[in-house]
Amino acid sequence: MKHEYQTLIVLAGLTGLAAQFGCGREDLRTEIVKWQDGKAAAVSLTYDDNSANQFRVAVPLMRRFDFPATFHVITGEIEGSRYQGAFIGRPIQDVVRETARIATGPGNFFERASAIGRLGFTGGFDYHLRAGELFEDGKINEAYRLIDEAFAKVRAGLLRREPVSPAGPGDHRLNWDDLKALATQGFEFSSHTITHPRLAVLDDANLDYELEKSREDILDHLGPKHTFTIECPFGTEDERVVRHALALYPASRNRLPEPFLEELDRSSDKDPAISSKEYVQWQRGALTATPMSQMKGWVDTVAGRDNIWLVLVFHGVDGIGWEPKTGAELEEYFGYIKSLESRIWVATFQDVTKYMRERMQGRVTTVRKGKAIEVDLRHDLSAEIYDLPLTLRTDVPSGWPSVGVRQGDRTANVKSARDNRGPYVTYQATPNAGPVTLTKRPN
């Protein structure tokens, strides 16, 4: 009997608490919603190769629609960069001399493919690029023969010296001040290496030089926020390259290591809606001939699902750069994305990556503290890098139509909503930044 009596007291206590909250909900829960602000999908606008009209034409359009974007920049082409293309290794003439005696093969190919573009001859870098393309296409012996051909020409003096200053008055070179102004307006900058080589055929020393020194120039000029992402040129998925890149940068557009993410690259024709993974990154390249209807269809596809991140890849704009789209096309397309903004979160590559990682590693607890609800959001990722606020959804008692949300000295008032699970509020909270307190507010 005594035992039953104690149980009754506990029950009475709980009932009192429920009465205090104005409902019987004892299981108040918080979840980190799938995408920021409860949207159904994410879209990232990304631009490669820093061609001039990305900044003169596309940036003003994106500003008008209030869209952020990610620019993968070739740092050696930006005025004021400390680092240019270079050969890292033994004296380069030793490499050239050796080609007269030893045919190109597995033991020397990467060194030679690194050196050929750095001898200062017109066409030398093109040999590097062509050898890289053959290698990545699996045509290894053809790549070796091409390198032999190139060095034979070098030894016979058949390649002309490159002019010393490639940047003439007709060039529209960007400078770091231009980029710094955009970096403070929500645009993300990302490394696209120093010289846009075929990284898969550089030896480790030259590969790391391209990765490290482009990072250093970005860090010096734009700060650590812009050293999060890299895109290794030509969309390479070479394992060694991706491994080296991810050792220096938290994220690459080429590959991300997450087991919860399915990645469909630009050449994939798989249906992004079929994946069973928590998230799908679906990359689509908008080329000159890509029809507007197809581009809009990509957006419709992601807006109609709940787990797809559409990563759009643009190159040239209005006649400048590879496969240019016109400014008019971009304007129409951005307007279409804007019209679906209630379902689509437009964010930088960095922010979407951070959101997914923070959410997947996030832990959230919900407890009652007197008349308030206290929510705690934490993760074990590097606190310096991963401080993107996440969107939380917390159940609230009925009779809380308006809720005050406070974290540190940040406060907001939000209206509660209701679905089949009951009343709830959604709001943003920063991980590892102290508890979030929810309180009932007068209507």
Nearer to Zn ion, 260 or 322 (CB): 322
Label the pairing between strands 279-285 and 308-314.
parallel
Q: Is 351 in the site for Zn ion (CB under 5 A)?
A: no
Nearer to Zn ion, 54 or 307 (CB): 54
Label the pairing between strands 372-378 and 363-369.
antiparallel
Place of tokens 């508890």: 435
Write down the number of H helices and E strands in the chain: 13, 18
Least distance CB 233 / Zn ion (angstroms): 5
Q: Report the SS3 class of residue 294.
A: helix
Binding mask 5-44 for Zn ion (x = CB under 5 A): ----------------------------------------
42 has which bridge partners?
309, 345
| Residue of closest CB approach to Zn ion | 48
Least distance CB 72 / Zn ion (angstroms): 7
Q: Say if CB 150 and CB 124 are below 8 A apart.
A: yes
Pick from 32, 34, 45, 49 the residue near Zn ion by CB under 5 A.
49
Q: Say if CB 133 and CB 91 are below 8 A apart.
A: no
Q: Is 233 in the site for Zn ion (CB under 5 A)?
A: yes
Q: Is 210 in the site for Zn ion (CB under 5 A)?
A: no
Nearer to Zn ion, 324 or 389 (CB): 324
The single-letter code of the amino acid at 388 is L
Nearer to Zn ion, 159 or 201 (CB): 201
Nearer to Zn ion, 108 or 191 (CB): 191
Q: Which of residues 92-131 bind Zn ion (CB under 5 A)?
A: none
**In terms of Cα–Cα distance, which of 258, 255, 274 is closest to 266?**
255
Pick from 21, 48, 88, 375 the residue near Zn ion by CB under 5 A.
48
Nearer to Zn ion, 197 or 250 (CB): 197
How far apart (Å, rounded) are the C-alpha atoms in residues 56 and 115?
A: 35
DSSP H helical segments within 168-261, as ranges?
A: 176-183, 204-222, 239-248
Q: Say if CB 103 and CB 148 are below 8 A apart.
A: yes
Nearer to Zn ion, 314 or 424 (CB): 314
Task: Give the up-direction half-sphere exposure of residue 252: CA atoms within 13 A in the CB hemisphere.
Answer: 27
Q: Say if CB 264 and CB 280 are below 8 A apart.
A: yes
Nearer to Zn ion, 233 or 272 (CB): 233
Least distance CB 184 / Zn ion (angstroms): 25
* Count of residues that bind Zn ion according to CB under 5 A: 3
Least distance CB 231 / Zn ion (angstroms): 7
Residues in contact with Zn ion by the rule CB under 5 A:
48-49, 233
